[in-house]
Amino acid sequence: MNEADTRLVERLRAGHEDAYREFVDTYKDRLLAVVARVSGHSADAEDLAQETFLKAFGAIDRFAGNSALYTWLYRIGVNTARDFLAARRRRPAVSLDALEPGSFDPPDPGQSPLQHLERDELVARVRGAMERLPEPFRTTLSLRETHGHTYEEVAEILEVSIGTVESRLFRARSKLRALLLAEGGV
């Protein structure tokens, strides 16, 4: 854990209000992206991120400092999103996220309208295929490819071995490729 995080954890443990704001401001965007990808429901990401921060604040005294602070927070976020998925499986709901293909990334101003449309369609297809991957594969692939974590960080966040991360990534990429090819290629 770096020195800035060490000081932040000390201030959080001491109950400094500005430390809570700094913690949220520092990690909110990345945490939102992680919980949205793991849950497959960006509409619920705000609630999941808020729940994750509340859990982290409540458990800050148990943070041992053996990992980076963001790794610990992401692990809580991944577990929170998994709990959400388990509850949702018990009572299925319809996601409206698939109706918003343009919300994935901002458009490139240098693209023609046709290029923008083709890109949106490709993004929607990849997003749809990723949502059909089994949760462990989707989460592992998202942490590595979308969020840029190293294999070691992904292993730590998911509490699995690096070999498991490598295996899940290989299988996730293979399944994703097969899903996209079955839909007519990339």
User: Residue-wise pLDDT tens for the chain (186 aa)?
Assistant: 789 889 999 998 998 889 999 999 999 999 998 898 888 777 788 889 999 998 998 899 999 888 889 999 999 999 998 888 887 776 544 443 444 444 445 555 666 777 767 777 777 888 888 888 888 999 898 888 888 888 998 999 888 999 999 989 988 888 888 888 887 766
CA–CA separation, 179 and 186 (whole Å): 10
CATH number at 70 reads: 1.10.1740.10
- Which contiguous run of DSSP H or E holds residue 55? helix 45-59
Domain span at residue 43 reads: 1-94
**Is the Cβ–Cβ distance between 133 and 172 less than 8 Å?**
yes
pTM: 0.57
CATH number at 171 reads: 1.10.10.10
CA dihedral 49, 54, 59, 64 (to 10 degrees): 40
